[in-house]
């Protein structure tokens, strides 16, 4: 026997309350995302069918998901996907979950290159899910996009998303590389974009459990912010064409330092940009 207790609406409400008690930051949204994915319907469709009863199997599976989320496991890892820019990316614990700030970085690059029609060579450095390079490649059919990541597991996910979202016919190259060390020396790029790890390890204590206990530390933390970035800036310079650009997402408290460090390396026209929370999170450099 089904009763109203088993309806979409009542289960959403109960789950939201449970997640709220467990201090999960966006309890309603997560309850909805987890249920919509389970029922294989778009999230808005939940409210069209809000009296729809769930079967016993569906209820058990949903309970399992809500329990996982209550232990801080990110919703994106539970459902294995995250929306970013205008695509949906497969994600698991080998890659960072794409963040809304990074969408602003992609938008900046597209804005700067909106006029040119040429076939540009682009590199997404530390590609992870591939969200940056794939979002750039999608509207720019003649751009040649390259991806690099130090982690072979992450590289596999970049490849998977790239073939699912861009299809198999695009001219794309993948490099498993510690920064630029394994990228062939004869390559040169019009534009390099990167959201590298940028949280100093000493800030680990301030990071929320969703991130700290589940996301790959390799993609997040640095033991020495300055050393890593001096290396990135120095190694990257010879890979840029004259007039080429390097875009970085970075730690707002280190962005001023990073700008100065880049000018010392020889980059010019170093422009900082704030994110939507008014934090200086992006840097654009020109060679
Ligand atoms: N480029 C990916 C992202 O922006 C991964 C970044 C990383 O691993 N540091 O989400």
The enclosing domain of 40 has a CATH number of 1.10.8
Altogether, the residues listed in the chain come to a count of: 287
Domain that holds residue 225: 82-286
Looking at the fold, whether 127 and 221 belong to one and the same domain comes out as: yes
The reply to whether 77 falls in a domain is no
Locate tokens 């204590």: which residue? 205
Looking at the fold, whether 23 and 61 belong to one and the same domain comes out as: yes
DSSP 146: E
DSSP 198: -
Looking at the fold, whether 168 and 241 belong to one and the same domain comes out as: yes
Q: Is the CB of 132 under 6 A from ligand 1?
A: yes
The residues, any chain, with a CB within 8 Å of residue 101's CB and separated by 6 or more, are 249, 275, 276, 281
Closest C-alpha residue for ligand 1 atom 3? 98
* pTM for the full predicted model: 0.95
Looking at the fold, whether 235 and 104 belong to one and the same domain comes out as: yes
Q: Say how many Å lie between the CA of residue 131 and the centre of ligand 1.
A: 7
Closest C-alpha residue for ligand 1 atom 1? 127
Residue 115 phi/psi, 5-degree rounding, is -85, -40
Residue 57 phi/psi, 5-degree rounding, is -65, -45
Locate tokens 């390079």: which residue? 133
Q: Is the CB of 27 under 6 A from ligand 1?
A: no
Cα(249)–Cα(102) distance, integer angstroms: 7
The residues, any chain, with a CB within 8 Å of residue 259's CB and separated by 6 or more, are 270, 272, 283
Look at residues 34, 50, 71 and tell me which one is the last residue of a structural domain: 71
Looking at the fold, whether 63 and 88 belong to one and the same domain comes out as: no
Give me the number of domains the chain comprises.
2
Looking at the fold, whether 20 and 149 belong to one and the same domain comes out as: no
Q: Is the CB of 74 under 6 A from ligand 1?
A: no
Looking at the fold, whether 141 and 52 belong to one and the same domain comes out as: no
Looking at the fold, whether 17 and 148 belong to one and the same domain comes out as: no
- Residue 229 three-state SS: helix
Cα(209)–Cα(197) distance, integer angstroms: 18
Closest C-alpha residue for ligand 1 atom 4? 195
Looking at the fold, whether 39 and 168 belong to one and the same domain comes out as: no
Query: Of 195, 146, 141, nearest to 174 (Cα)?
Result: 146
Cα(209)–Cα(69) distance, integer angstroms: 11
CB neighbours of residue 36 within 10 Å: 18
Cα(107)–Cα(284) distance, integer angstroms: 13
Looking at the fold, whether 180 and 117 belong to one and the same domain comes out as: yes
The reply to whether 76 falls in a domain is no
Locate tokens 């591939």: which residue? 130
Query: Contact 183/127 with Cβ under 8 angstroms?
Result: no
Q: Is 216 annotated as a binding residue?
A: no
Looking at the fold, whether 151 and 269 belong to one and the same domain comes out as: yes
Looking at the fold, whether 218 and 272 belong to one and the same domain comes out as: yes
Residue 100 phi/psi, 5-degree rounding, is -60, -35
Tokens of 257: 């330092």
Q: What is the pLDDT along the chain (287 residues), one digit of tens a residue?
A: 455 678 999 999 999 999 999 999 999 999 999 999 999 999 999 989 888 899 999 999 999 999 999 999 999 999 999 999 999 999 999 999 999 999 999 999 999 998 877 899 999 999 999 999 999 999 999 999 999 999 999 999 999 999 999 998 888 999 999 999 999 999 999 999 999 999 999 999 999 999 999 999 999 999 999 999 999 999 999 999 999 999 999 999 999 999 999 999 999 999 999 999 999 999 999 99
């Amino acid at each position: 026997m089904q009763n109203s207790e088993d309806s979409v609406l009542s289960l959403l409400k109960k789950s939201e309350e449970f997640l709220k008690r467990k201090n999960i930051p966006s309890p309603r949204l997560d309850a909805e995302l987890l249920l919509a994915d389970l029922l294989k319907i778009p999230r808005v469709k939940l409210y069209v069918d809000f009296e729809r009863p769930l079967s016993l199997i569906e209820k058990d599976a949903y309970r399992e998901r809500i329990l996982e989320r209550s232990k801080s496991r990110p919703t994106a890892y539970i459902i294995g996907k995250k929306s970013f820019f205008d695509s949906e990316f497969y994600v698991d614990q080998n890659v960072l979950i794409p963040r809304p700030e990074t969408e602003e970085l992609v938008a900046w690059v597209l804005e700067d290159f909106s006029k040119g029609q040429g076939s540009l060579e682009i590199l997404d450095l530390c590609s992870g899910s591939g969200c940056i390079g794939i979002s750039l490649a999608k509207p720019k059919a003649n751009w040649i996009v390259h991806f690099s990541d130090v982690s072979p597991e992450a590289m596999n996910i970049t490849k998977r998303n790239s073939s699912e979202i861009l299809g198999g016919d695009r001219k794309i190259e993948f490099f498993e590389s510690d920064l630029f060390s394994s990228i062939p020396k004869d390559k040169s790029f019009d534009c390099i974009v990167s959201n590298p790890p940028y949280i100093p390890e000493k800030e680990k204590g301030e990071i929320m459990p969703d991130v700290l206990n589940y996301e790959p530390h390799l993609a997040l933390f640095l033991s020495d912010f300055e050393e890593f970035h001096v290396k990135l800036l120095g190694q990257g310079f010879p890979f840029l064409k004259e007039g080429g650009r390097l875009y970085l997402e970075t730690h707002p408290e280190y962005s001023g330092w990073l700008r100065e460090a880049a000018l010392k390396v020889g980059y010019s026209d170093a422009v900082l940009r704030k994110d939507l929370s008014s934090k200086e999170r992006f840097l654009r450099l020109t060679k």
